Amino acid sequence: MGNIGLRELLMEPVQRIPRYTLLLDAILRHMARTDARRARIEEAVVLASRIARCEVDDKTRRAAVMWGCKRSVDGFPDGLISVHRQFIDCVDVEDFPLDIFGPSSLFSPGSSSSNGSPKILHCSLFLFDDCIAVVKRASSSSCGRRLVGLDDLTKLADQMRTFVERSGSSSAAGKGPRIELGFRGTIDLMDVRGTDLGATGE
């Protein structure tokens, strides 16, 4: 194709698998039916199409969760970002007491209201396999899971891929339309103790 060789053509659609399919289809249109190489290129078209349709794997889902948190949560620390950290669930909590950890609270100072009673926050708890990230919500009507994009991990992974392709880097997370979440601290999962307040002793 002019002065462009096959090697240069194959480098064009890097990281864009569907474009390989279009490129190979164009090559097939210019090849004779009797060309011995045609069968191999047809196999490549089938393979590229299969890859493009592949479901998001676990590793990509984990990366998408971290990318979504970094993009949507103000102050989300880089130290929490790990493809090995498994996201389990997100729970919105009303009236989360800031003084729950006592004087050595992980949260910002001024954790009591003017009358001395514990100050409360509307929070979302992001449960991972080794810790809980506590995130403040801007309002009680907002939903932490929805704001980060965790209600549809496939869509979030697609957004991450698009951002990486445009920026050429996965280190930056980009920003969502509006930051409504703020990172407040973490709790080691080994430090969590549960109490059934409704137990009757039976």
How far apart are alpha carbons 108 and 106 in whole angstroms? Answer: 7
Letter string b/e over residues 165-188, b meaning 16 or more CB atoms within 10 A of that residue's CB: eeeeeeeebeebeeebbbbbbbbe
Q: What is the pLDDT of residue 111?
A: 45
Q: What is the pLDDT of residue 199?
A: 59
Half-sphere exposure of 16 (CA within 13 A, CB side): 13
Does this model's pTM top 0.75? My answer is no
User: To which residue do tokens 């969502």 refer?
Assistant: 176
Q: What is the pLDDT of residue 100?
A: 53
Q: What is the pLDDT of residue 200?
A: 58
Q: What is the pLDDT of residue 147?
A: 92
How far, in whole angstroms, is CA 155 from its chain's centroid?
10
Q: What is the pLDDT of residue 130?
A: 93
User: To which residue do tokens 């103790």 refer?
Assistant: 193
Intervals of the chain under pLDDT 70:
1-4, 8-16, 53-55, 95-120, 168-177, 198-202
On whether the CB atoms of residues 153 and 64 are closer than 8 A, the answer is yes
